[in-house]
Structure 1
Amino acid sequence: MATILSRVGCGQFGLRQSNGANTHLVSGSRLIALDRGDGRIRPVAVGECLRRLVASCLVRAHRPDIEHRCLRANNLAFSNDGCNVGIKTVQTLLQANPEWLCVETDLANAFQRASREDMLAELYADDGLRDLVPLFLSLYSGSSNLFYAEVAMLLSREGSQQGCPLGTLLFVLSTAATVEDVIAAFPNVTVVAFADDVRFLG
């Protein structure tokens, strides 16, 4: 089992290395449409077992490096209790500075629209994240199949997939450089982010 997982993580399936012809062996997912209310749908892609297991193991093994990279963009998605830390930080800053405003982003289909090129560039640029490149290429370098019940098969050609253990990290990486540019350009604005929810205070 460890050999199989290692090969999947290194972009290999069985004895062959991953390429455009066989990438579908682990990149396909079952698509679930979650009702968010008000007629809004959240598409969640649930990959097969080996994909989820390998991606989860890689995220866990590289968690310190992942957290360090995300914190450079003030994103708490991989920090211990990051959601609560973010909420308390925003509340504390607004209580201490009643004249401040808080602007929140709410990007529709943020994960699905993120740039795969930016994700890959960020993975390559960080020594601590480079081990994730082979699996990223296996899952996201081309189109992957999304199976919606027995009704349809769609192709995923851009962004990351919510439901993939790498999905949140890949989204954060795709926006990290932009958020860091905002932080540098506006030093009087505090940015507090958790995954795709970003708040600007000042």
Structure 2
Amino acid sequence: MTDDTTLEKIKDCAIKLALNEGVFNPSTIEIATAANVSRTLLHYYFKDKKEIHEIICSKAMELYNLKMQPLFTGSDTLYSRIILFAHNAFAISVKYPYLETFLITGMKYNPDLKCFFYVHKSKINALLEEIKNFAPPESLQNLQAEDFLMQLLSVVNLPTHSLQHIFPIAEYRMQCEVFTLHYKELAIKFIEESIERLGLK
């Protein structure tokens, strides 16, 4: 195993612990065990846990940008971008079910995450204005653009997928995977119909 391979393995295991399994502040022992390396070897690559946590935060921000990108970029219609976002978000949520929770929790004490969300907020505000300007006023009825966007972001997250880590029994894991698939199909259909009703197509 090359040094680069070992380094990447440690990084990947730390990221998996935090974003896939919900261990938001993994200890060096937990990371070393997951990577199947000694703590001595781990400290050869990283002087302390803070360095590893910064890597996790960087990866989390990268994934969140990737998840949200379809909403903010491209020349497609708002409808097409939302549908693309939904499919994209589902794929990331399945692999990293604790992504949002990690970011929101970390924002309280991590200045980089605070800055990240401050920049991200301007993109959200621009999207909200686009929704308000695009949708006929009567189509939104009592639903505010902010409410619509919040519901959209909630629907595409898959908290049910995290049950696989809470109940690691094979039978439960299989049921969670089946449920996740059906949930995605229903949620995409719900999003498509909701967008059409709101006149965003």
After TM superposition, the score normalised by the length of structure 2 is 0.30
Q: Which has the higher contact order (CA 8 A, sep 6+)?
A: 1
Q: Decide which structure has greater strand share.
A: 1
The structure with the larger Rg is 2
TM, length-normalised to structure 1: 0.30
